Chains A and B, each alone.
Chain A
Amino acid sequence: KNEVEQSPQNLTAQEGEFITINCSYSVGISALHWLQQHPGGGIVSLFMLSSGKKKHGRLIATINIQEKHSSLHITASHPRDSAVYICAAPNFGNEKLTFGTGTRLTIIP
């Protein structure tokens, strides 16, 4: 089973700050997911990446396959970015996802 660890567990920042959330996994994977969950809401898939970097608006996701590490960055953070960010990695061989426990991000105006 893939072990997925996220850090930090909680992050509070001022509006406009550059945000970095980290994810480490234990087993080689085909692709890693970054997900966003607003309080009481469903989950939105932000990125699925297998190498390099992807960018969508103010969100950037990077992955280093050799180091088994991925980061999610938010530039010019805004209060509406406040949510739980979850990374998920498939278990080797069956693609069953193992989810990290999430990073609760709070952006203060």
Chain B
Amino acid sequence: EAEVAQSPRYKITEKSQAVAFWCDPISGHATLYWYRQILGQGPELLVQFQDESVVDDSQLPKDRFSAERLKGVDSTLKIQPAELGDSAMYLCASSQPRDPGANVLTFGAGSRLTVL
């Protein structure tokens, strides 16, 4: 069964360091999302891509966060410098809105970040 791949699964870093997460969506999925989920809360959208273009990054803290999807396939989310409050699960998801019959949102396993 096709799945969304994310790495690393776990990352521990010290504050002020840089950290990067990688996501490979399901093949053919044009839409890719990065969500942040703080423990005990629902996911919060950070950025949404349609192919290689950013559709929505209104909730992305752009002073320290950046995201790219250069070839419209895999994507990288970067935090520099990391702060204590960035400790959370970072979830990647993908969907294919052009195919309504297959328009199911599929999540990756997530990358859990701990900032010390």
Contacts and interface: CB of A to CB of B under 8 A. Distances in A.
Contact of B107 (A42, A48, A100): A42
Contact of A99 (B43, B106, B108): B43
A interface residue count range (under 10 / 10 to 19 / 20 to 34 / 35 or more) = 20 to 34
A102 B41 CA distance: 8
Interface string B44-66: 11001000000010000000000
Given A41-B110, A42-B109, A42-B110, A101 B103 contact: no
A48 B97 CA distance: 13
A101 B48 CA distance: 21
Contact of A48 (B91, B104, B109): B104
16 contacts: A33-B105, A35-B105, A40-B112, A42-B6, A43-B43, A43-B93, A44-B107, A45-B107, A48-B103, A88-B42, A88-B105, A94-B56, A96-B45, A96-B56, A97-B105, A101-B41
